[in-house]
């Protein structure tokens, strides 16, 4: 491996710093990564969506795209692994380069290891190192030991980001378009999800999920590749190796003349060196004035043999459970009186009382809100007989046919203080008038949006009056906002109330 050509600053990093490094590499080579990603994945995604459409299984397309994500992960890994040591390849080079990599690990990733959370950490080892199976297993045990948890946390974090992005894009269409402005095919597909997911909705869900995964999955691969590089830097001391190589290049670039002068200076004969070389070597007997015994010799041999044992090499961490030793006689604890203890107790009691008052006020406010929302009769204002009689009259009036003089009946209810019932009666009359004008019938489950959609086929003046009546009813029904008396009279002045009264 030519470390001199690497474009990343090699140094031991924490897991979070390594993930940030992966995001930086992805930003630096975003065009090369995503162009190759879409060139590889778009045809496969189109086939998956077509298969779900033809088989009438709308969920199949999304499941297939998610299942084949490990197949697409090879593409950003190829781009980043080349971009770290040289230029980033183009998408055609990336697609041709997939034939150079083995497919055994990829087949395992899309079959029995599909839910492996260490996928992006395992892929660089399998595709870049090319080790045999036995060495690959040993290498994997060493590689994943300290960063396996970080790789799993990265996988789950990217999964959460994909879900958030998918839900945000899908609900942006479903929630921020008014129902009356939404196209019929889109409204029908969204409304049919609860009963039977149509093919259009399945294709939309699959396309939206693919866009979300296309945004997050290359980031997942880049962060996993950065974790792999950081782990190899820790194991093989790439930063130290690279520093020595740069030092060697620096000395070589300084010129061969300086190196030749240094060599001549080292080889120049010197009297003191020659005299020192003629002296016999110092032995331990000369230092301590006593010979080395046989016992010392045996100890030296045993020490050398012990140090040759492989168990003494490297580092090893051992975790053991040790029972805690409980003291039979606990030491007495001397409790000292804190300064300003009385003032602190008073403040604590005051805060506790304030919190209790806030909780009581909150409970009372919630109860009042629920009573108002449920429109329960106030205690002592109406009797139960009056409330039951009024509800019975409203039910009879709702079930009966519309009066012949719709304007007079609506005005009578409005002047009697029953403004909600008046607007409801006017809205019913408007819905039936729209149906009569179109020579259709009003469905039992028709909504205000259905009435507005039907009114679009009327002439301009009637369409505007129908929209005004429906909006007035919606403000009253859902927001308790009623029109003024003069505005209400304008609603009764023309079609459909005046037309029904004249008829």
Residue-wise pLDDT tens digits, 155-209: 999 999 999 999 888 787 667 777 666 666 555 555 444 444 567 778 888 999 9
Cβ(127)–Cβ(105) under 8 Å?
A: yes
Cβ(469)–Cβ(495) under 8 Å?
A: no
Distance CA 207, CA 213 (A): 10
Q: Give the pLDDT mean for 415-440.
A: 87
Average pLDDT, the chain: 76
Q: What are the sequence ranges of the domains in the chain?
A: 3-243, 358-399, 401-502
Residue-wise pLDDT tens digits, 319-354: 777 766 655 555 665 656 656 666 667 777 888 888
Q: Could you tell me which residues come within 8 angstroms of residue 20 by beta carbon, excluding any fewer than 6 positions away?
A: none
Instruction: Give the alpha-carbon dihedral of 191, 193, 194, 197, to 10 degrees.
Output: 130
Distance CA 139, CA 135 (A): 6
pLDDT exceeds cutoff 50 at 10: yes
pLDDT exceeds cutoff 50 at 399: no
Residue-wise pLDDT tens digits, 280-313: 544 444 444 445 555 567 766 766 676 666 655 5
Percent of the chain with pLDDT over 90: 13
* Predicted pLDDT at 396: 38
**H helices of 55-147, where?**
58-67, 69-85, 91-97, 104-109, 119-124, 133-144
- Calculate the CA 48 to chain-centre distance: 24
Exposed/middle/buried for residue 444 (C-beta within 10 Å: 0-12, 13-18, 19+): exposed
Cβ(120)–Cβ(225) under 8 Å?
A: yes
Cβ(216)–Cβ(158) under 8 Å?
A: yes
Both tokens of 391, joined, read 């509800």
Preceding omega of 496 cis (within 30 degrees of 0): yes
* Predicted pLDDT at 398: 46
- Angle CA 411–417–419, to nearest 5: 65
pLDDT exceeds cutoff 50 at 395: no
Query: Quick one: pLDDT band at residue 67, thresholds 50, 70, 90?
Result: very high
Cβ(455)–Cβ(469) under 8 Å?
A: no
Distance CA 158, CA 227 (A): 15
Cβ(53)–Cβ(206) under 8 Å?
A: no
Both tokens of 235, joined, read 């194991």
């Amino acid at each position: 491996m030519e470390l001199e050509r690497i474009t990343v600053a090699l140094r031991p990093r924490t897991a979070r710093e390594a993930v940030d490094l992966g995001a930086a590499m992805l930003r630096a080579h975003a065009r090369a990564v995503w162009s190759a990603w879409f060139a590889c994945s778009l045809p496969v995604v189109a086939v998956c969506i077509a298969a779900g459409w033809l088989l009438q299984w709308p969920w199949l397309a999304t499941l297939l795209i998610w299942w084949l994500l490990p197949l697409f992960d090879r593409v950003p890994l190829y781009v980043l692994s080349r971009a770290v040591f040289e230029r980033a390849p183009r998408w055609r080079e990336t697609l041709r380069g997939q034939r150079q990599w083995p497919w055994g690990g990829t087949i395992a990733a899309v079959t029995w290891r599909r839910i492996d959370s260490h996928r992006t950490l395992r892929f660089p080892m399998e595709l870049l190192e090319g080790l045999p199976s036995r060495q690959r297993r040993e290498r994997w045990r060493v590689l994943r030991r300290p960063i396996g948890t970080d790789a799993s946390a990265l996988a789950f974090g990217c999964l959460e980001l994909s879900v958030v992005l998918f839900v945000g894009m899908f609900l942006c269409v479903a929630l921020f378009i008014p129902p009356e402005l939404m196209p019929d095919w889109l409204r029908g597909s969204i409304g049919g999800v609860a009963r039977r997911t149509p093919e259009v909705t399945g294709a939309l869900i699959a396309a939206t999920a693919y866009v979300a995964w296309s945004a997050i999955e290359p980031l997942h691969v880049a962060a996993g590749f950065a974790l792999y590089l950081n782990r190899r830097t820790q194991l093989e001391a790439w930063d130290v190796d690279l520093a020595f190589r740069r030092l060697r290049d620096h000395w070589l670039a300084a010129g061969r003349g300086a190196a030749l002068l240094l060599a001549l200076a080292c080889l120049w004969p010197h009297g003191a060196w020659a005299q020192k070389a003629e002296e016999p070597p110092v032995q331990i007997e000369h230092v301590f004035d006593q010979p080395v015994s046989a016992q010392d010799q045996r100890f030296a041999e045993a020490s050398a043999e012990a140090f040759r044992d492989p168990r003494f090499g490297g580092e090893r961490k051992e975790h053991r459970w040790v029972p805690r030793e409980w003291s039979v006689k606990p030491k007495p604890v001397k409790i000292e009186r804190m300064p300003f203890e009385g003032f602190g107790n008073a403040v604590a009691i005051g805060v506790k009382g304030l919190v209790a008052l806030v909780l009581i006020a909150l409970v009372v406010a919630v109860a009042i809100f629920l009573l108002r929302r449920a429109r329960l009769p106030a205690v002592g204002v109406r009797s139960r007989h009056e409330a039951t009689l009024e509800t019975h009259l409203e039910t009879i009036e709702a079930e009966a046919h519309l009066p012949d003089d719709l304007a007079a009946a609506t005005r009578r209810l409005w002047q009697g203080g029953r403004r909600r019932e008046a607007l409801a009666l006017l809205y019913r009359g408007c819905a039936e008038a729209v149906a009569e004008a179109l020579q259709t019938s009003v469905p039992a489950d028709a909504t205000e949006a259905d009435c507005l959609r039907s009114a679009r086929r009327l002439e301009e003046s009637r369409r505007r009056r129908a929209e005004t009546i429906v909006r007035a009813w919606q403000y009253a029904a859902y927001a308790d906002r009623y029109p003024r008396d003069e505005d209400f009279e304008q609603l009764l002045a023309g079609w459909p109330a005046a037309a029904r009264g004249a008829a």
